[in-house]
Chains A and B, each alone.
Chain A
Protein backbone atom coordinates (compact mmCIF):
# COMPACT_ATOMS: atom_id res chain seq x y z
CA UNK A 1 0.00 0.00 0.00
CA UNK A 2 1.45 3.26 -1.15
CA UNK A 3 -1.17 5.60 0.30
CA UNK A 4 -2.35 5.49 3.90
CA UNK A 5 -5.97 4.41 4.42
CA UNK A 6 -7.44 7.87 5.16
CA UNK A 7 -6.59 8.94 1.64
CA UNK A 8 -9.66 7.04 0.47
CA UNK A 9 -11.80 9.80 1.97
CA UNK A 10 -9.92 12.63 0.27
CA UNK A 11 -11.83 12.70 -3.07
CA UNK A 12 -15.19 12.80 -1.26
CA UNK A 13 -13.95 15.45 1.16
CA UNK A 14 -12.63 17.58 -1.70
CA UNK A 15 -15.90 17.21 -3.60
CA UNK A 16 -18.03 18.07 -0.57
CA UNK A 17 -15.78 21.01 0.23
CA UNK A 18 -15.96 22.33 -3.34
CA UNK A 19 -19.73 22.00 -3.45
CA UNK A 20 -20.10 23.67 -0.08
CA UNK A 21 -17.77 26.49 -1.04
CA UNK A 22 -19.54 26.92 -4.36
CA UNK A 23 -22.92 27.11 -2.66
CA UNK A 24 -21.61 29.57 -0.08
CA UNK A 25 -20.05 31.73 -2.81
CA UNK A 26 -23.24 31.73 -4.89
CA UNK A 27 -25.31 32.63 -1.85
CA UNK A 28 -22.90 35.39 -0.92
CA UNK A 29 -22.88 36.92 -4.41
CA UNK A 30 -26.66 36.64 -4.67
CA UNK A 31 -27.04 38.29 -1.29
CA UNK A 32 -24.36 40.96 -1.33
CA UNK A 33 -23.64 41.36 -5.04
CA UNK A 34 -26.96 42.95 -6.03
CA UNK A 35 -28.17 46.52 -5.78
CA UNK A 36 -29.92 45.82 -2.48
CA UNK A 37 -26.44 45.81 -1.01
CA UNK A 38 -24.29 47.72 -3.49
CA UNK A 39 -26.65 50.70 -3.94
CA UNK A 40 -28.65 50.84 -0.72
CA UNK A 41 -27.04 52.60 2.19
CA UNK A 42 -25.00 55.13 0.22
CA UNK A 43 -24.85 58.24 2.33
CA UNK A 44 -22.05 60.60 1.31
CA UNK A 45 -20.87 63.43 3.50
CA UNK A 46 -22.18 66.72 2.09
CA UNK A 47 -20.11 69.92 1.78
CA UNK A 48 -22.57 71.67 4.12
CA UNK A 49 -24.13 69.56 6.89
CA UNK A 50 -27.68 70.21 5.71
CA UNK A 51 -30.22 68.18 7.67
CA UNK A 52 -33.63 67.16 6.33
CA UNK A 53 -34.50 66.15 9.87
CA UNK A 54 -34.23 69.76 11.03
CA UNK A 55 -35.80 71.41 8.00
CA UNK A 56 -38.41 68.96 6.70
CA UNK A 57 -38.98 67.20 10.03
CA UNK A 58 -38.77 69.67 12.91
CA UNK A 59 -39.58 72.87 11.01
CA UNK A 60 -42.16 70.99 8.92
CA UNK A 61 -41.11 72.52 5.61
CA UNK A 62 -42.77 70.96 2.58
CA UNK A 63 -40.43 69.14 0.18
CA UNK A 64 -41.69 71.39 -2.59
CA UNK A 65 -40.49 74.55 -0.84
CA UNK A 66 -37.01 73.51 -1.93
CA UNK A 67 -37.50 70.83 -4.60
CA UNK A 68 -39.99 73.18 -6.21
CA UNK A 69 -40.66 71.78 -9.68
CA UNK A 70 -40.77 68.12 -8.67
CA UNK A 71 -44.45 67.88 -9.63
CA UNK A 72 -43.84 68.99 -13.19
CA UNK A 73 -40.33 68.17 -14.32
CA UNK A 74 -38.24 65.04 -14.75
CA UNK A 75 -35.66 66.22 -12.26
CA UNK A 76 -36.35 67.22 -8.68
CA UNK A 77 -34.19 70.34 -8.54
CA UNK A 78 -31.92 71.08 -5.62
CA UNK A 79 -32.60 74.54 -4.20
CA UNK A 80 -30.35 77.46 -5.01
CA UNK A 81 -28.19 78.90 -2.28
CA UNK A 82 -30.18 82.14 -2.37
CA UNK A 83 -33.32 80.29 -1.30
CA UNK A 84 -31.53 79.07 1.84
CA UNK A 85 -30.48 82.63 2.58
CA UNK A 86 -34.08 83.78 2.94
CA UNK A 87 -33.79 82.32 6.43
CA UNK A 88 -30.06 81.98 6.97
CA UNK A 89 -29.38 85.66 6.38
CA UNK A 90 -30.78 85.83 9.94
CA UNK A 91 -30.90 82.32 11.42
CA UNK A 92 -27.76 80.59 12.82
CA UNK A 93 -25.52 83.13 11.12
CA UNK A 94 -22.38 82.11 12.97
CA UNK A 95 -22.58 78.36 12.56
CA UNK A 96 -19.78 76.85 10.48
CA UNK A 97 -22.12 75.34 7.86
CA UNK A 98 -24.14 78.49 7.37
CA UNK A 99 -20.94 80.55 7.00
CA UNK A 100 -19.83 78.24 4.19
CA UNK A 101 -23.28 78.60 2.60
CA UNK A 102 -23.19 82.38 2.83
CA UNK A 103 -19.68 82.52 1.34
CA UNK A 104 -20.76 80.41 -1.66
CA UNK A 105 -23.84 82.57 -2.24
CA UNK A 106 -21.81 85.79 -1.94
CA UNK A 107 -19.42 84.51 -4.63
CA UNK A 108 -22.35 83.27 -6.73
CA UNK A 109 -20.90 79.77 -6.70
CA UNK A 110 -22.87 76.56 -6.87
CA UNK A 111 -22.75 74.45 -3.72
CA UNK A 112 -21.05 71.17 -4.69
CA UNK A 113 -23.69 68.85 -3.21
CA UNK A 114 -22.74 65.21 -3.61
CA UNK A 115 -25.26 63.26 -5.63
CA UNK A 116 -26.89 60.36 -3.76
CA UNK A 117 -29.56 58.81 -5.99
CA UNK A 118 -28.36 58.22 -9.48
CA UNK A 119 -29.73 56.11 -12.32
CA UNK A 120 -27.48 55.14 -15.20
CA UNK A 121 -27.68 57.60 -18.10
CA UNK A 122 -29.37 54.96 -20.25
CA UNK A 123 -32.42 54.79 -17.99
CA UNK A 124 -35.02 57.53 -18.08
CA UNK A 125 -36.95 58.61 -15.02
CA UNK A 126 -39.53 61.34 -14.59
CA UNK A 127 -40.52 62.72 -11.17
CA UNK A 128 -43.54 64.66 -12.41
CA UNK A 129 -45.30 61.59 -13.82
CA UNK A 130 -44.95 59.75 -10.52
CA UNK A 131 -45.93 62.60 -8.24
CA UNK A 132 -48.97 63.43 -10.42
CA UNK A 133 -49.95 59.76 -10.34
CA UNK A 134 -49.90 59.83 -6.54
CA UNK A 135 -46.62 58.08 -5.69
CA UNK A 136 -45.18 59.59 -2.53
CA UNK A 137 -41.53 60.50 -2.11
CA UNK A 138 -41.66 57.94 0.71
CA UNK A 139 -41.98 55.00 -1.71
CA UNK A 140 -38.66 55.77 -3.34
CA UNK A 141 -36.65 57.82 -0.83
CA UNK A 142 -37.81 56.57 2.57
CA UNK A 143 -38.22 58.75 5.63
CA UNK A 144 -36.09 61.62 4.35
CA UNK A 145 -37.67 63.84 6.99
CA UNK A 146 -35.89 61.80 9.67
CA UNK A 147 -32.45 61.76 8.06
CA UNK A 148 -29.70 64.10 9.21
CA UNK A 149 -27.72 63.02 6.14
CA UNK A 150 -29.54 61.74 3.05
CA UNK A 151 -29.20 58.00 2.61
CA UNK A 152 -30.40 55.81 -0.23
CA UNK A 153 -32.87 53.23 1.08
CA UNK A 154 -34.20 51.66 -2.13
CA UNK A 155 -32.11 49.74 -4.68
CA UNK A 156 -33.38 51.78 -7.71
CA UNK A 157 -32.78 48.67 -9.82
CA UNK A 158 -34.82 47.77 -12.87
CA UNK A 159 -36.61 44.97 -11.02
CA UNK A 160 -37.53 47.40 -8.27
CA UNK A 161 -39.07 49.82 -10.81
CA UNK A 162 -40.96 46.97 -12.43
CA UNK A 163 -42.25 45.52 -9.15
CA UNK A 164 -44.16 48.72 -8.62
CA UNK A 165 -45.14 49.24 -12.25
CA UNK A 166 -46.80 45.83 -12.18
CA UNK A 167 -48.57 46.37 -8.85
CA UNK A 168 -48.65 50.04 -7.86
CA UNK A 169 -51.88 49.96 -5.79
CA UNK A 170 -50.36 49.95 -2.33
CA UNK A 171 -48.08 52.89 -3.15
CA UNK A 172 -50.61 55.46 -4.36
CA UNK A 173 -51.96 58.27 -2.17
CA UNK A 174 -54.26 61.25 -2.48
CA UNK A 175 -52.49 64.38 -3.75
CA UNK A 176 -52.38 66.27 -0.45
CA UNK A 177 -50.43 63.46 1.28
CA UNK A 178 -47.64 63.04 -1.30
CA UNK A 179 -45.11 65.01 0.73
CA UNK A 180 -46.48 64.05 4.15
CA UNK A 181 -44.09 61.21 4.78
CA UNK A 182 -45.50 60.48 8.23
CA UNK A 183 -49.11 60.10 7.03
CA UNK A 184 -50.71 56.72 7.63
CA UNK A 185 -53.04 55.57 4.83
CA UNK A 186 -55.83 53.52 6.42
CA UNK A 187 -56.45 51.00 3.63
CA UNK A 188 -53.67 51.56 1.11
CA UNK A 189 -54.68 48.94 -1.46
CA UNK A 190 -58.32 50.06 -1.70
CA UNK A 191 -57.27 53.73 -1.78
CA UNK A 192 -54.72 52.93 -4.46
CA UNK A 193 -57.26 51.05 -6.57
CA UNK A 194 -59.62 54.00 -6.43
CA UNK A 195 -56.86 56.39 -7.48
CA UNK A 196 -55.79 54.11 -10.32
CA UNK A 197 -59.32 53.95 -11.65
CA UNK A 198 -60.10 57.65 -11.34
CA UNK A 199 -56.83 58.69 -13.01
CA UNK A 200 -56.71 55.80 -15.50
CA UNK A 201 -53.21 54.85 -14.47
CA UNK A 202 -51.40 52.14 -16.33
CA UNK A 203 -47.69 52.18 -15.55
CA UNK A 204 -45.83 50.91 -18.56
CA UNK A 205 -43.58 47.86 -18.58
CA UNK A 206 -42.42 48.44 -22.15
CA UNK A 207 -38.67 48.76 -22.51
CA UNK A 208 -39.13 51.99 -24.43
CA UNK A 209 -40.81 53.73 -21.49
CA UNK A 210 -37.55 53.73 -19.57
CA UNK A 211 -34.91 53.12 -22.26
CA UNK A 212 -34.70 55.12 -25.44
Chain B
Protein backbone atom coordinates (compact mmCIF):
# COMPACT_ATOMS: atom_id res chain seq x y z
CA UNK B 1 0.00 0.00 0.00
CA UNK B 2 2.81 2.32 0.93
CA UNK B 3 4.37 1.72 -2.44
CA UNK B 4 1.31 2.76 -4.38
CA UNK B 5 0.96 5.95 -2.41
CA UNK B 6 4.58 6.74 -3.03
CA UNK B 7 4.12 6.31 -6.76
CA UNK B 8 1.11 8.59 -6.70
CA UNK B 9 2.57 11.19 -4.51
CA UNK B 10 6.34 10.76 -3.96
CA UNK B 11 7.40 12.28 -0.62
CA UNK B 12 3.80 13.35 -0.03
CA UNK B 13 2.20 13.38 3.40
CA UNK B 14 0.09 10.27 2.70
CA UNK B 15 2.97 7.83 3.12
CA UNK B 16 3.89 9.57 6.35
CA UNK B 17 0.44 8.79 7.62
CA UNK B 18 0.23 5.30 6.13
CA UNK B 19 3.59 4.02 7.32
CA UNK B 20 3.00 4.52 11.05
CA UNK B 21 -0.50 3.16 10.68
CA UNK B 22 0.85 0.05 8.95
CA UNK B 23 3.43 -0.40 11.67
CA UNK B 24 0.79 0.00 14.37
CA UNK B 25 -1.44 -2.52 12.61
CA UNK B 26 1.44 -5.01 12.42
CA UNK B 27 2.23 -4.51 16.10
CA UNK B 28 -1.38 -5.11 17.12
CA UNK B 29 -1.50 -8.21 14.91
CA UNK B 30 1.72 -9.51 16.49
CA UNK B 31 0.41 -8.87 19.99
CA UNK B 32 -2.81 -10.71 19.13
CA UNK B 33 -0.89 -13.62 17.57
CA UNK B 34 0.94 -14.19 20.81
CA UNK B 35 -2.32 -14.31 22.78
CA UNK B 36 -3.44 -17.49 21.01
CA UNK B 37 -4.30 -20.00 23.71
CA UNK B 38 -3.49 -17.54 26.50
CA UNK B 39 -4.58 -18.17 30.09
CA UNK B 40 -8.19 -17.30 30.74
CA UNK B 41 -10.74 -18.02 33.44
CA UNK B 42 -13.63 -17.79 31.01
CA UNK B 43 -14.97 -21.17 29.86
CA UNK B 44 -14.60 -22.00 26.15
CA UNK B 45 -17.35 -20.62 23.92
CA UNK B 46 -19.10 -23.11 21.66
CA UNK B 47 -21.07 -21.41 18.92
CA UNK B 48 -22.77 -24.64 17.92
CA UNK B 49 -23.19 -26.78 21.03
CA UNK B 50 -25.19 -29.51 19.30
CA UNK B 51 -25.33 -32.59 21.54
CA UNK B 52 -22.35 -31.42 23.60
CA UNK B 53 -24.37 -31.66 26.77
CA UNK B 54 -26.67 -34.63 26.70
CA UNK B 55 -29.35 -35.46 29.22
CA UNK B 56 -27.29 -37.88 31.24
CA UNK B 57 -25.21 -37.93 34.39
CA UNK B 58 -21.48 -37.97 33.85
CA UNK B 59 -19.17 -39.59 36.40
CA UNK B 60 -18.40 -37.54 39.52
CA UNK B 61 -21.11 -34.99 38.89
CA UNK B 62 -23.65 -34.45 41.63
CA UNK B 63 -26.86 -36.34 41.29
CA UNK B 64 -29.65 -33.94 42.08
CA UNK B 65 -32.41 -36.47 42.48
CA UNK B 66 -31.18 -39.70 44.03
CA UNK B 67 -33.83 -42.32 43.28
CA UNK B 68 -35.73 -43.69 46.30
CA UNK B 69 -34.04 -46.46 48.19
CA UNK B 70 -30.57 -45.71 46.80
CA UNK B 71 -27.69 -45.19 49.20
CA UNK B 72 -24.63 -43.16 48.24
CA UNK B 73 -21.68 -45.44 48.65
CA UNK B 74 -18.34 -43.57 49.23
CA UNK B 75 -17.35 -41.21 46.46
CA UNK B 76 -14.32 -43.31 45.61
CA UNK B 77 -16.42 -46.36 44.94
CA UNK B 78 -17.17 -47.01 41.31
CA UNK B 79 -18.89 -49.80 39.48
CA UNK B 80 -15.88 -50.78 37.38
CA UNK B 81 -13.00 -50.22 39.76
CA UNK B 82 -12.27 -50.32 43.42
CA UNK B 83 -15.09 -50.05 45.83
CA UNK B 84 -18.37 -51.74 45.90
CA UNK B 85 -17.67 -55.28 44.76
CA UNK B 86 -14.37 -55.21 46.59
CA UNK B 87 -15.85 -54.09 49.90
CA UNK B 88 -18.79 -56.44 49.80
CA UNK B 89 -16.71 -59.58 49.28
CA UNK B 90 -15.76 -61.55 52.35
CA UNK B 91 -12.94 -63.90 53.23
CA UNK B 92 -9.30 -63.67 54.33
CA UNK B 93 -8.16 -62.17 51.03
CA UNK B 94 -10.56 -59.23 51.57
CA UNK B 95 -10.36 -58.75 55.33
CA UNK B 96 -6.93 -60.06 56.28
CA UNK B 97 -8.58 -62.19 59.01
CA UNK B 98 -9.21 -65.91 59.09
CA UNK B 99 -12.49 -67.57 60.11
CA UNK B 100 -11.74 -67.21 63.83
CA UNK B 101 -11.08 -63.46 63.44
CA UNK B 102 -7.30 -63.69 63.87
CA UNK B 103 -4.91 -61.92 61.43
CA UNK B 104 -3.73 -64.33 58.77
CA UNK B 105 -0.03 -65.06 59.16
CA UNK B 106 0.80 -65.32 55.45
CA UNK B 107 -0.23 -63.49 52.31
CA UNK B 108 -3.09 -65.50 50.72
CA UNK B 109 -1.58 -65.30 47.23
CA UNK B 110 1.46 -66.65 45.41
CA UNK B 111 4.38 -64.31 46.18
CA UNK B 112 6.30 -64.17 42.90
CA UNK B 113 8.83 -61.68 41.56
CA UNK B 114 6.11 -59.98 39.51
CA UNK B 115 3.91 -59.74 42.59
CA UNK B 116 6.66 -58.02 44.59
CA UNK B 117 7.43 -55.67 41.70
CA UNK B 118 3.77 -54.74 41.53
CA UNK B 119 3.96 -54.14 45.27
CA UNK B 120 6.95 -51.90 44.83
CA UNK B 121 5.18 -49.78 42.22
CA UNK B 122 2.08 -49.47 44.42
CA UNK B 123 4.17 -48.73 47.52
CA UNK B 124 5.93 -45.89 45.70
CA UNK B 125 2.54 -44.48 44.69
CA UNK B 126 0.58 -44.86 47.91
CA UNK B 127 3.00 -45.13 50.84
CA UNK B 128 6.31 -43.50 49.90
CA UNK B 129 5.00 -39.92 50.27
CA UNK B 130 4.62 -40.46 54.01
CA UNK B 131 6.84 -43.44 54.85
CA UNK B 132 9.71 -42.71 52.44
CA UNK B 133 10.84 -44.91 49.56
CA UNK B 134 12.83 -47.17 51.87
CA UNK B 135 10.17 -47.24 54.57
CA UNK B 136 12.38 -45.28 56.95
CA UNK B 137 9.53 -42.94 57.91
CA UNK B 138 11.69 -39.88 57.29
CA UNK B 139 10.09 -37.44 54.83
CA UNK B 140 9.61 -33.68 54.59
CA UNK B 141 6.03 -34.13 55.75
CA UNK B 142 7.07 -34.56 59.37
CA UNK B 143 8.60 -31.07 59.21
CA UNK B 144 5.24 -29.80 57.94
CA UNK B 145 3.33 -31.18 60.90
CA UNK B 146 2.48 -34.80 60.08
CA UNK B 147 2.96 -37.03 63.15
CA UNK B 148 6.03 -39.20 62.48
CA UNK B 149 5.01 -42.20 60.36
CA UNK B 150 6.18 -45.53 61.78
CA UNK B 151 9.41 -46.83 60.27
CA UNK B 152 8.25 -49.92 58.40
CA UNK B 153 11.59 -51.64 58.99
CA UNK B 154 10.97 -51.33 62.72
CA UNK B 155 11.10 -54.59 64.72
CA UNK B 156 7.49 -54.02 65.81
CA UNK B 157 6.27 -54.03 62.19
CA UNK B 158 8.53 -56.96 61.34
CA UNK B 159 6.81 -58.93 64.09
CA UNK B 160 3.30 -58.19 62.80
CA UNK B 161 1.34 -60.87 60.95
CA UNK B 162 0.92 -60.22 57.22
CA UNK B 163 -2.81 -59.84 57.80
CA UNK B 164 -2.26 -57.10 60.36
CA UNK B 165 -0.23 -54.94 57.93
CA UNK B 166 -2.98 -55.57 55.38
CA UNK B 167 -5.50 -54.44 57.97
CA UNK B 168 -3.52 -51.25 58.69
CA UNK B 169 -3.41 -50.37 54.98
CA UNK B 170 -7.14 -51.04 54.72
CA UNK B 171 -8.43 -49.26 57.80
CA UNK B 172 -5.50 -47.16 59.04
CA UNK B 173 -3.95 -47.03 62.49
CA UNK B 174 -4.30 -44.15 64.97
CA UNK B 175 -2.93 -41.15 63.02
CA UNK B 176 -2.78 -42.92 59.69
CA UNK B 177 -5.95 -42.84 57.60
CA UNK B 178 -7.08 -46.04 55.91
CA UNK B 179 -6.42 -46.48 52.19
CA UNK B 180 -8.65 -49.50 51.64
CA UNK B 181 -11.16 -47.66 49.50
CA UNK B 182 -8.48 -46.43 47.15
CA UNK B 183 -6.33 -49.55 46.66
CA UNK B 184 -7.83 -52.86 45.46
CA UNK B 185 -7.26 -55.81 47.79
CA UNK B 186 -4.76 -57.67 45.62
CA UNK B 187 -2.61 -54.56 45.39
CA UNK B 188 -2.73 -54.18 49.16
CA UNK B 189 -1.36 -57.72 49.51
CA UNK B 190 1.32 -56.92 46.94
CA UNK B 191 2.31 -53.92 49.06
CA UNK B 192 2.56 -56.19 52.13
CA UNK B 193 4.90 -58.44 50.13
CA UNK B 194 7.06 -55.47 49.22
CA UNK B 195 7.14 -54.19 52.81
CA UNK B 196 8.45 -57.64 53.77
CA UNK B 197 11.08 -57.34 51.04
CA UNK B 198 12.16 -53.93 52.37
CA UNK B 199 12.44 -55.37 55.87
CA UNK B 200 14.47 -58.34 54.68
CA UNK B 201 16.76 -56.05 52.68
CA UNK B 202 17.28 -53.88 55.75
CA UNK B 203 17.88 -56.74 58.15
CA UNK B 204 20.09 -58.53 55.66
CA UNK B 205 19.07 -62.02 56.77
CA UNK B 206 21.85 -64.60 56.37
CA UNK B 207 19.53 -66.73 54.22
CA UNK B 208 19.93 -64.11 51.47
CA UNK B 209 23.65 -64.77 51.23
CA UNK B 210 25.45 -67.48 49.31
CA UNK B 211 27.42 -70.08 51.27
CA UNK B 212 30.79 -68.48 50.57
CA UNK B 213 29.51 -65.05 51.58
CA UNK B 214 28.10 -66.48 54.79
CA UNK B 215 31.47 -68.04 55.55
CA UNK B 216 33.01 -64.57 55.42
CA UNK B 217 30.69 -63.28 58.18
CA UNK B 218 32.42 -62.59 61.50
- Could you list which residues of chain A lie within 8 angstroms of chain B, going by C-beta atoms? 31-32, 35-45, 59-62, 64-65, 68-69, 72-75, 77-80, 82-83, 85-87, 89-93, 110, 120-122, 151, 153, 176
Contact in complex: A43, B39 (CB < 8 Å): yes
Q: B78: CB under 8 A from chain A? A: yes
Q: Are B53 and A121 in contact (CB under 8 A)?
A: yes
Give which listed residue, B38, B42, B75, B129, contacts A59 with CB less than 8 A: B129
CB pair B124–A85 under 8 Å, yes or no, is no
- Dominant secondary structure at the A interface: loop
Contacts of A45 in B (CB 8 A): 41
B177, A37: Cβ atoms closer than 8 Å: no
Of A31, A77, A79, the contact of B33 (CB 8 Å cutoff): A31
Name the segment of B11-19, B95-103, B141-149, B208-216 touching the other chain: B141-149
Q: List 10 A-B contacts (CB under 8 A).
A: A36-B36, A38-B45, A80-B76, A82-B177, A86-B179, A87-B130, A90-B147, A121-B51, A153-B37, A176-B121
B58 within 8 A of A: yes
- Residues B145 and A91 in contact, CB atoms below 8 Å apart: yes
Size of the chain B interface, CB-CB below 8 angstroms: 48
Name the contact of B36 in the complex, choosing from A37, A86, A93 (C-beta under 8 A): A37
A-contact 0/1 string along B6-42, CB 8 Å cutoff: 0000000000000000000000000011001111111
A-B contact count (CB 8 A): 107
The answer to whether A122 and B62 have CB atoms under 8 Å apart is no
Contacts of A85 in B (CB 8 A): 177
B78 touches A69 (CB 8 A): yes
B27 to chain A, nearest CB (A): 15
Contact A62-B124, Cβ < 8 Å, known A38-B45, A91-B141: yes
Given contacts A65-B129, A110-B62, 10 further A-B pairs with CB under 8 A are A41-B37, A42-B42, A68-B76, A72-B81, A77-B78, A80-B75, A82-B177, A83-B177, A91-B141, A121-B53
How far apart are A190's CB and chain B's nearest CB, in angstroms? 25
Shortest Cβ gap from B79 to chain A (Å): 9
